Chain A
Amino acid sequence: MKTVPARHVPALLALLAVPLLHAAVPTAVAIKDAHVVTISGADLPKATVLLRNGLIEDVGPNVTVPAGTWIIDGSGLTVYPGFIDALSTWGIPGAVPPTAGRTTGAAATPAQTTPAPAQALTQSNAQSPAEAEDAGRPNIHGPEDRPQTYSFERAADLITPGDSRLEAARAVGFTSAATFPNRGIVEGLGAVIDLSGERGREMVVAQPVGQQILFRVGGGGMGRAFPASLMGNIAYIRQLYLDLNQYKEAKQIYAANPSGNKRPEYDHALEGLAEAPRILLPADQAQQIDRMISFGQELKTPFVLYGAHEAFKCLDEIKQANVPVLISLKWPVAERDANPEDIPNYRDLVIREQSPAVAGMFAKAGVKFAFYSDGVDSAPDLKRAIKKAIDAGLSRADAIRALTLTPAEIYGIGDRMGSIEKGKIANVVVMKGEAFDDKSTVEYVFVDGTMYKPSKELQQGPANGGPGGRRGAPTPTNDDNDGGH
């Protein structure tokens, strides 16, 4: 608090007391004489950032601060663009509960306020609610029944400011997230949201920004609905894209020649797919990365990989493919409470050792990458997870970029967020000390211009790491090799 001029203290405290009320947001705040890391341009060792009406009105060493502006003395502080979680569930508290019928699925409002224990892995053995629902459906005959497909579901419709994780995320400096629904294999349309707002709809910055694919595998298919295997998942997505092409063509031909042609059937699932500007494909281990690069190219649709823990083995291939990659911050680590007799595999040990270095390698190789929280939700855990990549060779500057402008660019919204530039959304973090240093603290976070001052308690713990990421690293299932004999 020392850095804030005494005369402003009461007003700021008043603001902080009602952080969610936009009405209380000052029309203008100036962070004066701070070190500004703009990302898009040069670092400004001593500059002022002027925020007004939810936008960055100006930035530079010589900014004219209008009368009546709230002033924060930024000397000794650093201003960064707000961080973006590049693949998230923040804003959608808990898993969407299974609903009786698919028709009501999209409309189901998440009622839970605490995140449910994350179960589904990128390649999950666990049955998802959607899958349970599908398994109970009598008529999954194949891809044509669109099993586990929620391509039409919109994160934008599910967002609520009531998600308790938002506060923790802001406490590390996150102001935005690319949030996706989490049902089924084709999970729905993501939205980039700001982590503040009175209503969900106010939080949405851009949508749809993509379609997330999650392979759900297990059980050998006995008593479960198609698709139960990885190859089934892949074949299904492949068929969906073939169907999509045919759907588009059929609609076109029909529009031109309705007479004598049977009208193409309306397909909810394909509509959702058609709308997605890109798809996100799960790829954690080397062979999965290789597989998904080929698959993404085959689908002829822009794609992004997520996972990437073993990407240190395929730098060249990723570079050649020119594909953006989202790195999971849920670093693979030794299993807690493991049987001491179970010595981990060499490969797993290497992955545990090397995965935090992937980001640094990407930076050197020129691969476009960003980070995603992957179920790491507490402030100290997030901070340490990012620090781990820095300790493993990623420069701080590259780390900040991977948390700001790069994810914004990946989702095609680099023109409105991700850097401290005149005219962009007022998402900024004001820190004491350098970001992710152990001793650094987040002094202020501005989300859409709304100011927050995260408590020390929240920043330092106790951590509530939770049981693990919902988008955990895809693990190879070691199915009982029941080829049958």
Chain B
Amino acid sequence: MRRVLLVVIAACAAAAVSRAETILIRNATVLTITKGAIENGSVLIENGKIAAIGKKVSAPADATIVDASGKYLMPGIIDCHSHTAIEGGVNEGTLSDSSMVNIKDVINPNDINIYRSLAGGLTISNVLHGSANAIGGQTIVVKLRWGKSAQEMIMEGAKPGIKFALGENPKRAGEPSQNFFSQGAAPERRYPGTRMGVEEVIRESFAEAKNYQAEWKDYNDRVAKGEHPIPPRKDLRLEPLVEVMEGQRYVHAHCYRSDEILMLIRVADEMGFKIRTFQHVLEGYKVAREIKEHGAGASTFSDWWSYKIEAFDATPYNAAIMAKKGVVVSLNSDSDELQRHLNLEAAKTMRYGGMTPTEALAMVTINPAKQLGIDDKVGSIEVGKSADLALFDQDPLSNYSKCLRVWIDGHQYFDRDKDLETRPKFNEEKKQLLQKENAPATGQRTGRPVANAPGASEEAYR
């Protein structure tokens, strides 16, 4: 029901939310992640939540039964670093600090990559601003409720974040380089052009945010005293930083080298905020201790490396080293393509560092859930959690596996059989649309032909 769904369901207006079904998934190998695996296990879904798990689960008579014999059921996959479904630019890279922009404003629920990723078992994405500047934009956690509106995709109860970026990317605009961005006009160099400058931008912004906080406090105090001060300007750039200091917003910091990771930890200490996750963090293995002490999570790639110099000291053992040293580690995609098979990325940690199957899968389920502060709701198969589930035809850590069905909040959003079944119909529908478009319009051009205007006015009315 790929694009057909798009037509049937209003992808714009709030679609009527159908009442969640009661579903019993039977005879699966249930990979709970937090409580081991259950062979020939069953999971009961009621009201969008996991109601029961076990070898023997009784279901109400009206429950829909899904026979999953020989198949594997795992929690829906969670991606802690995505840029999917963003309309109109991933970066607002014009400023060193663009914290006023918000990904929440530009989620495109019609982005086909949402569906494609669902089909790989992904149910939740932390959708981030790009890494063009030291302080990027505000971020949002979405559930891939394909067919729903942007508002409805935003995950309830998930704390929003803000993207920071360290290293080569944020300083790139400050480099007098010959890269393709400078073709055409010679752009101005935007501060900063060094890692030192990146640090300065962050410290400066937080210093401003503290002043801003004080300014408002002063205003409120004066109002309380019965004075008539002029209110300060509400600054959308500084508000989110105040929220960060107040613990209302998570910092997700893109970084590569160990020095910059340590740098940000020290800036955070100084300014009194916490870094929730280090993103990519390819040299996190060198400062795992400091990351752990700060209480940050690490969200890294399985095996990316060598695409730039700050990614040259990378090792695919990074995830395993950090995990072994006590850091909560997740594997992220940063890519519309990679987010389609994060389970297979997890499998690589078994080769690179000897993670157990559960440890490996935790890196794309419960660990990212912890990092996003949503582990009380999702990330494992436990009673009371949201019924965000992915059914695979075999062990999802096998490169031969494929995802068959996906539920979010107990609603089925992907079913491979239905997808396959719908394809001919979809193709036929499209063929008809094309034929119709190419057929000469009837009743349109009864007048004399438009002379001397071959095609010129075509586009206006054809």
Contact = CB atoms under 8 A, between A and B. Distances in A.
A334 B232 CA distance: 52
B270 interface: no
Contacts, number: 298
Contact of B132 (A222, A254, A285): A222
B398 interface: no
B193 to A, nearest CB: 14
B233 A243 contact: yes
Interface string B75-116: 000000001001111111111001011110111111000000
B165 to A, nearest CB: 7
Interface string B439-450: 000011111101
Nearest to B93: A221
Contacts of B436: 353
Interface stretch (A44-52, A188-196, A343-351): A343-351
A229 B92 contact: yes
A230 B87 contact: yes
A287 B12 contact: yes
B131 interface: yes
A142 interface: yes
Interface residues of B, number: 91
Q: Which of A310, A344, A353, A479 has the most chain B CB atoms closer than 10 A to its own CB?
A: A479
Interface in A336-393: 336, 343-344, 346-347, 349-350, 352-353, 376, 378, 380-381, 384-385, 387-388, 391
Interface string A223-243: 111111111111110110011
A10 to B, nearest CB: 31
B182 A343 contact: no
B183 to A, nearest CB: 9
A220 B89 contact: yes
B400 interface: no
Interface in B435-462: 436-437, 443-448, 450-453, 455-462
A461 B236 contact: no
B90 A485 contact: no
A100 interface: no
A287 B14 CA distance: 11
Interface stretch (B2-10, B28-36, B348-356): B2-10
A261 B92 contact: no
Interface stretch (B50-58, B223-231, B322-330, B358-366): B223-231
Contact of B93 (A220, A315, A334): A220
Given A228-B93, A287-B11, A349-B433, A254 B230 contact: yes
Given A231-B92, A234-B106, A460-B448, A484 B169 contact: yes
B350 to A, nearest CB: 23
Contacts of A462: 450-453, 456
B236 A242 contact: yes
A225 B94 contact: yes
B89 A229 contact: yes
B13 interface: yes
A463 B181 contact: no
A463 B456 contact: yes
A476 interface: yes
A218 B92 CA distance: 10
A432 to B, nearest CB: 14
A227 B101 CA distance: 9
A381 B460 contact: yes
B102 A231 contact: yes
Nearest to B92: A232
Contacts of B17: none
B234 interface: yes
Contact of B453 (A232, A330, A461): A461
Given A291-B150, A347-B3, A257 B89 contact: no
B249 interface: no
A391 B442 CA distance: 10
Interface stretch (A55-63, A70-78, A133-141, A408-416): A133-141
Contact of A220 (B101, B130, B426): B130
Given A257-B228, A313-B11, A385-B460, A481 B83 contact: yes
Interface in B118-153: 128-132, 137, 149-151
Given A141-B95, A484-B132, A232 B89 contact: yes
A221 B336 contact: no
Interface residues of A, number: 98
A223 B87 contact: no
A484 B456 contact: no
B102 A224 contact: no
B95 A246 contact: no
Nearest to B169: A484
B254 interface: yes
Contact of A140 (B94, B100, B110, B450): B94
B202 interface: no
Interface string A322-339: 000000011101101000
Interface of B is mostly: loop
A227 B388 CA distance: 37
A465 interface: yes
Contacts of B426: 346
Given A142-B237, A235-B105, A347-B110, A226 B95 contact: yes
Interface string B174-203: 000000011001111000000000000000
A333 B132 CA distance: 36
B61 interface: no
A48 B446 CA distance: 32
A37 to B, nearest CB: 22
Given A232-B101, A476-B88, A483-B83, A239 B236 contact: yes
Contacts of A249: 230-231
Nearest to B105: A234
Nearest to A142: B95
A39 interface: no
B384 to A, nearest CB: 32
Given A142-B100, A334-B462, A439-B447, A316 B185 contact: no
B334 interface: yes
A105 interface: no
A232 B94 contact: yes
Contacts of B88: 123, 215, 217, 229-231, 233, 476-477, 479
B100 A239 contact: yes
A423 interface: no
B144 to A, nearest CB: 15
Given A221-B132, A477-B87, A485 B100 contact: no
A386 to B, nearest CB: 9
A350 B4 CA distance: 11
A251 B130 CA distance: 39
Q: Which of B234, B445, B461 has the most chain A CB atoms closer than 10 A to its own CB?
A: B461
A234 B98 CA distance: 12
Contacts of A329: 460
A460 B443 contact: no
A290 B150 CA distance: 8
Given A353-B436, A484-B254, A290 B12 contact: yes
A327 B437 CA distance: 21
B130 A482 contact: yes
Q: Which of B182, B230, B455 has the most chain A CB atoms closer than 10 A to its own CB?
A: B230
11 contacts: A221-B132, A223-B182, A229-B89, A230-B105, A231-B105, A232-B89, A234-B102, A315-B13, A333-B458, A343-B434, A350-B7
In the complex, the 4 A-B pairs of residues with the closest C-beta atoms, listed nearest first? A223-B187, A230-B88, A229-B89, A221-B93
Given A250-B231, A465-B460, A477-B87, 17 more contacts: A123-B88, A143-B100, A221-B132, A228-B89, A229-B90, A230-B106, A231-B102, A239-B100, A262-B230, A287-B149, A320-B13, A353-B433, A378-B457, A391-B444, A463-B453, A482-B90, A483-B90
Interface of B: 3, 6-7, 10-14, 83, 86-95, 98, 100-103, 105-110, 128-132, 137, 149-151, 165, 169, 173, 181-182, 185-188, 228-237, 254, 280, 301, 304, 307, 334-336, 426, 429-430, 433-434, 436-437, 443-448, 450-453, 455-462
